[in-house]
Chain A
């Protein structure tokens, strides 16, 4: 290409997500690391399960329950 306007625009979704998780979402002072880990585990895969969103919600609810139980002791 000889045009200077040919900006680097084609990106890979998985690379984009990986970079988000490795950089911005890695900050534990801003983001709950357990929640980040669950989101990454469910949504940052090569092939997503058709019910990945619902499964993530279940996992987050379980996390909330576990934390409630733990702090209730």
Chain B
């Protein structure tokens, strides 16, 4: 390697200094108490999850940073981030984690907490509304195509009533109703 006389640039900091007064020390316990959160604190920040993620290159917060932010108590930043909603749920991070942290599942927990606080992308909220109105995500429109193939025009056995009534009383119903 040849030595250079040029001065190297100042290293880029990945994140701004953290304002400790804004941290929520209970956030890690909140996530740990949720489904699949048990292994959260086993993270040793190796960033294998980020190496496995097919879209981390276009995220401001990488998967391993999000996990670290949870551990640090950066509740607001994590739950307001676009990254948790863009997660593909492909489970590649989770599959490769050497510490068995259920990274993808934990991002699902984050989304649930964000939704509880009313922070939910418009189109996702719209999906919830449609699900409750129609009782299913996709509705048969081209029933002649089904009949051409010898299938019944409407889907045998599919009940739309249960989803409509059951989800009225859960969070999806509150989101669809416009309230929190």
A and B are interacting partners: no
User: Residues of A with Cβ closer than 8 Å to B?
Assistant: none
User: Residues of B with Cβ closer than 8 Å to A?
Assistant: none
